[in-house]
Each structure stands twice: as structure tokens, then as C-alpha cells.
Amino acid sequence: MLFSLSKSTLRVRLRDFDWIMFAVVVLLLTYGIIIIYSTATARVITGITKNQIIFAGIGIFLFFLFTIINYRLFKGGAIFLYIATLILLAVVLVFGRATHGAVRWISIGAFQLQPSEIAKVFLIIVLAKFFADRQEETGLKPFLLSGLYTAIPVILVMLQPDLGTALTFIVIWLGMVFVSNIRKIYLWLSGLLGLVLLPILWHFLHDYQKKRIYVFFNPGADPLGAGYNVLQSIIASGSGRLLGRGLGYGYQSQLRFLPIQHTDFIFAVLAEALGFIGAVVLLFLFFVLLLRILKIITKASDNFGMFLATGVFSLFLFQILVNIGMNIGIMPVTGIPLPLISAGGTAIITNLLALGILESIAIRRRKMVF
């Protein structure tokens, strides 16, 4: 059955629903909408703010829909989801819209679909099935085969080019390998091989990607060029001090010194407006969210659910660390959005969809007793 919540079991299922995680998700969405709204020079709910509210509403609907759907059904359709992932990533290369030198979006009427965001969730489902079916295998074969499954979408995303999403795919795979029974020596050897191949991989990066790495080590080397974004973000983050300048009163954001403030550098906007205290509140909310996901991992009733939750945990943890890290200058700029906070329809919807799957795992963590 697609929907496995009958009236006789609804009360028991609601008891296992993670209300704390849901409350944190709502608070994060509200936090993001308020920060996006504060960047508007005219205090009216239009444009990006209005879209964010609409996408959050759609995402919440899908959150509850995928909570009701039994997550185990996705296991049977994993191969079709993998094919769909490759098709979506290939289609965007042919029909996608170019923005800032990258082809990442497909125009569907007024909506801009970003297939790589959907691919993150699809890849998690595919790898979860793979590892769940081979939980007893510890050798090199499942390690290499799962790596191959991951490598194909990584290559397609790199052709866009989108280094940040490609790294996200790899981190999702590494997270699942880590909790599997595969011998961890293969992870260490892969890391060593990656270090050896770095000089070769460097030549495959685009010039703007190389510049981002250069300015990470020395932002002042090109303050009006490649280092501008990083420097303005650091200034904005620090200028908020303890309590912030107030919503709508940040010099960096209101005077448009801070670029890409609705997506990549939204944390800097928040830190400038709400200060250290506001940033700590955001970090606390993310910390609680990650703790709730870890609880779902440990309480999952089967390996498939455990691997699904691990993939989502890896996805959120990596994006949170990288986005905040690049905003305060301790990580290179990679264009990774801040989950549930940054503006972006596809990202908001797919993140909420993934969290809905986690709730589906949570409410089915115990067998029903009649």
C-alpha cells in the first residue's frame, strides 16, 4: 500500500512523529524568510520573499505527504530513480539556462528547476538500497561499485559546472560507506589516492574555480575581483557584533556591497542583522536538527531506513558546514546554499521532501502491536 497509515494505527504513528524536528524545521524556514525579507529595500512581501513563502508551503505539503508514504516503497523503485537522476542531469546540459557561466536550471514556465538538487535525494535513495542489500559484504567490490554509481552523476554535475554539488554527492557516498560494514581501509586509501591525484585534478578545474581556491588562501590578493565576495562576507559577518545592526539596517546588505545575499551569503546577512546572538541561535537550531536526524538513524527499524537517514544527515551536515564556513572565510566559496534558509525553490522543496522521508522512518521504527 502506498499510504500505510490506517485509522487504527494513526494514533500510534503520531506518537512516534518527531515533533521536535518538525518544530525546528518550521523555525528555520521562518528564520530564512525573515532574513530574506529584511534585505528588501521596500518593506513589502514581493519577489524573492513571496516566492520563498510559496516554496516553503509546497515543501511543507510534500513533507507531510512523504511522511505518510511508507519509505520502504522507494527501495523497489531505486533503479528507476537512478535512471531519472542521470536523465535529469543530462537534460539540463542540453536544455538548461546558463547563469553566471554555469548551466544548472531548466525553465518550466516561471519556475526554475534545478535538477541537481533533486538528484541529491534520488542518489541517497539509490545508495541506501545498494548498501542495505549488501550490508554483510565488507570487501572491495561493493566499495568500488557504489563509487561508480556515485561517479556518473558527479561527472554530469561537473560538466555544468557545479563543483559544490559534485562534492556533496561524494560526501553523501562517503557518509554511507562509513556506517556500512565495508572495511574502512578503503576510505583511507581513497583519501590518499585523492591527495596523489590533486595536481592532475587541478587541471580539470575551471579558471574561476581555481581563483576561488587562490583567494581562499589570500583574499586580499584580488580584493576587487575574485576575493571581493569573501571579503565583503567577512566584513558583514563581523560588523553585526553581539546584537547586530537590526533587520533591514545592515550596511553591507542594504547598500548591496554583499553579493548573492539571498543564497550563498545569506549567513553573512543574518550575522550582520542579528549579530553573534542571532548566529548562535541559528547554529543551535541546526544542531538540534542534526541531533534529531542522528536519533532517527539509531532508531531505524531496518538497514534501508538507517542508510536513508545517514545520507540525509551527510547532506545537511556538509551543506551547513561549507556554507557557513565560506561566509566567515574558513572554506573556499563553492556556491552551496544554506539548507532551509537560502532562497531557492528546488532546494527548499527537496530538503523538506528529504526530511519528510526521515519522519516516515521515525513513525515506522517499531512494529505495530494489535
pLDDT of residue 352 exceeding 90: yes
Q: In what order do the strands lie in the sheet with 111-113?
A: 97-99, 102-108, 111-113
Give the model's pLDDT for residue 369. 39
Residue 69: other Cβ atoms inside 10 A: 18
Query: What CA–CA distance (Å, rounded) separates 30 from 10?
Result: 28
103: three-class secondary structure by DSSP: strand
pLDDT in tens, 21-65: 999 999 999 999 999 888 765 455 567 888 899 999 999 999 999
pLDDT of residue 15 exceeding 80: no
Half-sphere exposure of 121 (CA within 13 A, CB side): 20
Q: DSSP for 319-338, please give it.
A: HHHHHHHHHTTSS----PPP
344: three-class secondary structure by DSSP: coil
19 pLDDT tier (thresholds 50, 70, 90): very high
Q: Kindly give the residue spans of alpha helices, DSSP state H, lying in the chain.
A: 7-16, 19-38, 47-68, 73-76, 78-95, 115-133, 140-158, 163-179, 185-202, 207-217, 228-239, 251-254, 266-299, 303-327, 345-363
CA separation (Å) from 325 to 171, 199, 264?
Answer: 16, 24, 11
Give the model's pLDDT for residue 318. 97
Name the burial class of residue 150, with classes exposed (0-12), middle (13-18) and buried (19+) by CB atoms within 10 angstroms of its CB: buried
Query: What CA–CA distance (Å, rounded) separates 37 from 141?
Result: 50
Q: Which of the two residues, 331 and 33, has the higher pLDDT score?
A: 33
pTM of the prediction?
Answer: 0.90
